[in-house]
Each structure stands twice: as structure tokens, then as C-alpha cells.
Amino acid sequence: MNEEMKSVDPRLVPVVRLATGDKIPVIGMGTFGSDNYSAVEIAEAVRTAVKMGYRHIDCAAVYGNEKEIGDVLGDMFEQGIIKREELWITSKVWNDKHHDVRGACLESLKKLGLDYLDLYLVHWPFPNHHPPMVDVASRDPNARPYIHEEYMAVWKEMEKLMDEGLVRNIGTSNMTRPKMELLLLDCRIRPACNEMELHPHFQQPELKKYIEDQGIAVIGFSPIGSPNRPERDKTPDDTVPIEDPVIVDIARKHGVHPAVICIKWGAQNGQIPIPFSVKPEKLLSNLQAVVQDPLSAEEMEAIRKQDKNCRFIKGQVFLWPGARSWEDLWDMDGVICQ
């Protein structure tokens, strides 16, 4: 982008205060390219985003681009474009590193070129994993259902990372209520944040309220409904939030793309959306979404009514032998599925 790039004053972006006292910007930039963009393209988009006013970047080891993002961050620190302490950087321990959380964290820090993370998440509550870009029917033969003792061993390592100062906050992702209840019973340090799928067609009101009631901030992933997610993650019943007539109509009235309405709804609904794009104009409109032209109470209510309870990131590849279907990952009956 050239010097004419439009930007948003980061001081105008609201923040959410966490139980630790830290403040996380209410919008972050997602960095999972859904196999559509190269690591360098995504890293260059991080440069654009930070220059534009983004201060929160949602990374993960499994996205395969932390080294490239680290190179860009290092460049910007060196050039005085931004200071480390002005940024909120999240990373996540991938499922294949549950036995070595500290090693995984050090690896992410090294690649990102940082000496601490603002937030470190357990990406999934299972150690089950798969090679990149595998078919949705692929299964890890060693996959197991949720085992609380194993998860707590991971969590204890997460707590130690905080003790050591390598991470400022720890959190969870893709949790269900019964799993979270057990964690909250047994943890020494409570999660500051929980990252979960949230968009107008998957609002998860009960789980979100439960998490919030526990004093845990909610980060909403796939806030636009991940329209360009890999084909392997789509099923015939999936809906498309940006094609929802109610959202399209509200978008027309505000003169923006429906994606922007999804982000406004997310931020006004109390979650922290982390939309992805590498395209400057989309990055900009997503950032502007949280600082101008809010949705009215009526519009918020109209979108609330569009919930389709339609989960897009189902996690099929993490199923264990003997599991019935992807629903087993999500404890649909309120008890942990074994």
C-alpha cells in the first residue's frame, strides 16, 4: 500500500478488560489463510494491518506462517513503525504438542521474534491431529476422546508459562461447557479468554453467556462465517451469513459489505471478532466497523433472530476411532462424550 493508505487511530478501537487487568483490542486480525494464501502474503497483510491501526493479531503455530509474521514484526520494530508493547499477539499450542507445551511456546516465540506473548491458547482440547490439507474423512488412528487428566497436564504447563513470564494471559479454544466446568474446578490460573466460533448463524448464546459469567472474555473466530474456508470444511447444510437477506438488507442501509455487518454485530454483541483478509480494502472496512456507524438495537435484534445454530468448523478430522460423528466433539448432550 502507498502513503495514501487510510488508517484508523488505534486509540479509538475499544478494548476489553480481562480478569488479569490486561486490555485486549476488540478486533483482531485473523491469520489463518484457509490454504488460499501463502505465508508471505499473510505476513505482508499483517504489515498493512498494523500500519492501518490494527493492534491485535491472532496467530497459531498450525497456520504455518509465524516465522514470516515474525520477520515482518521485526522489520516494523526496527523501523520504529510500532513498538512491541503496543501490540497484542496471540498464539496457540497445536494438538501435536500437548506433551511439550513449553517447547511449542518457545518455538512460536522464536518464530515470531518475541520474548513474550500477550495470550497463549490451547487450540483444541484434544491431542488429536492430522497432516496439513488432509481430506475431511482422514482420521488420526491414535486419536482419543477428551481425557481430563491429560488436558489438566497441558493446562499446568500453560500456568507455568505465565509464572515464567513467557505469556501474559492463557486461554482455551473450542471448549464446551462441561469441559470448561472441569477446567475451572481444577485450574490454579483461570483462562482469561476463550476463543470459539461465533457469527450471526452460530451465536452460541448459552455457551457464550456461561463463559462471560465466569469472567472469561470471548474471542469470536470465523466472525464472517469463513466464506472461503477449505471445501473439506463445507457440508451441504451449511448456511452463508453474508448472503442472509436480513444481513444483506442492513448492509445496504449502512452502505457496507455484509461482512462488515457481521463484525459490527460481533463487537456489539460483546465478543472480540478476529476476521481474516489479506486485502487492504477489506482489512480497512473491518477495522472501521468497530469505530463508526454502529448497528441500532433493532438491527442487533434482527440479527439475533437469524441464528441458525450452524457450526462451520466442525473438527471432523479430530474424531477418534469409535466416535459417531463430529457432534461427539461438542458434547451436545451436556456431558463429555467418550
Residues with catalytic annotation?
A: 63
Grid coordinates representing 138? 482422514
Q: Is 244 in the site for ligand NAP (CB under 6 A)?
A: no
Least distance in angstroms from the C-beta of 6 to ligand NAP: 14
Region from 2-10, 186-194, 208-216, 274-282 binding ligand NAP, contact rule CB under 6 A: 274-282
Q: Which is nearer to ligand NAP, 225 or 322 (CB)?
A: 225
Choice between 175 and 188, CB closer to ligand NAP:
175
Instruction: Tell me which residues in 91-150 interact with ligand NAP (CB under 6 A).
Output: 123
**Interface with ligand NAP, residue 172, by CB under 6 A:** no
Interface with ligand NAP, residue 280, by CB under 6 A = no
| Position among 88, 221, 265, 318 found at the interface with ligand NAP (CB under 6 A) | 221
Burial of 171 (0-12, 13-18, 19+ CB in 10 A): buried
**Smallest separation (angstroms) from ligand NAP to the CB of 240:** 11
Instruction: CB nearer to ligand NAP: give 163 or 281.
Output: 281
Number of residues that bind ligand NAP (CB under 6 A): 31
Of the candidates 86, 85, 87, 104, the one whose C-alpha atom is nearest the C-alpha of residue 96 is 104
Stretch that binds ligand NAP, among 144-152, 182-190, 257-265, 290-298 (CB under 6 A): 257-265
208/257 with CB nearer ligand NAP: 257
Q: Is the alpha carbon torsion for 32, 75, 272, 162 positive or negative?
A: positive
From the list 222, 268, 271, 288, which residue makes contact with ligand NAP (rule: CB under 6 A)? 222
Binding mask 41-80 for ligand NAP (x = CB under 6 A): -----------------x----------------------
- Whether residue 169 contacts residue 56, with contact meaning beta carbons closer than 8 Å, is answered with no
Rounded distance, CA 45 to CA 223, Å?
18
Give long-range contacts, CB 8 A cutoff, 24+ apart: 35-44.
35/133, 35/230, 36/228, 37/278, 39/64, 39/65, 39/67, 39/68, 39/69, 40/68, 41/278, 42/68, 42/69, 42/278, 43/68, 43/69, 43/71, 43/72, 44/72, 44/278
H or E element in which residue 90 lies: strand 88-93
* Window of 19-27, 64-72, 254-262, 301-309 that interacts with ligand NAP by CB under 6 A: 254-262
* Residue 199 vs residues 180, 307, 310: alpha-carbon distances, Å: 21, 8, 9
**Which of 61, 274, 310, 319 lies at the binding interface for ligand NAP (CB under 6 A)?**
274
Is residue 261 close enough to count as binding ligand NAP by CB under 6 A?
A: no
Show Cβ contacts of residue 181 under 8 Å, excluding neighbours closer than 6 positions: none
With CB under 6 A as the contact rule, which of the stretches 65-73, 180-188, 205-213, 272-280 interacts with ligand NAP?
A: 272-280
Integer Cα distance of 314 and 325 in angstroms: 10
**Residue from 88, 276, 318, 320 in contact with ligand NAP (CB under 6 A):** 276
Rounded (10°) angle between helices 66-78 and 39-52: 40
Sign for the pseudo-dihedral over CA of 7, 10, 11, 14: positive
Contact between residue 301 and residue 310 where contact means Cβ atoms under 8 Å apart = no
**Whole-number minimum distance, CB 295 to ligand NAP, in Å?**
15
We find the least distance from the C-beta atom of residue 210 to ligand NAP, in angstroms, to be 18
Which amino acid is located at 332 in the chain? M
Kind of pairing between the strands at 23-25 and 15-17: antiparallel
Please report, as ranges, the residues that interact with ligand NAP according to CB under 6 A.
30-32, 34, 58, 123, 173-174, 195, 221-229, 257, 259-260, 274-279, 282, 285-286, 313
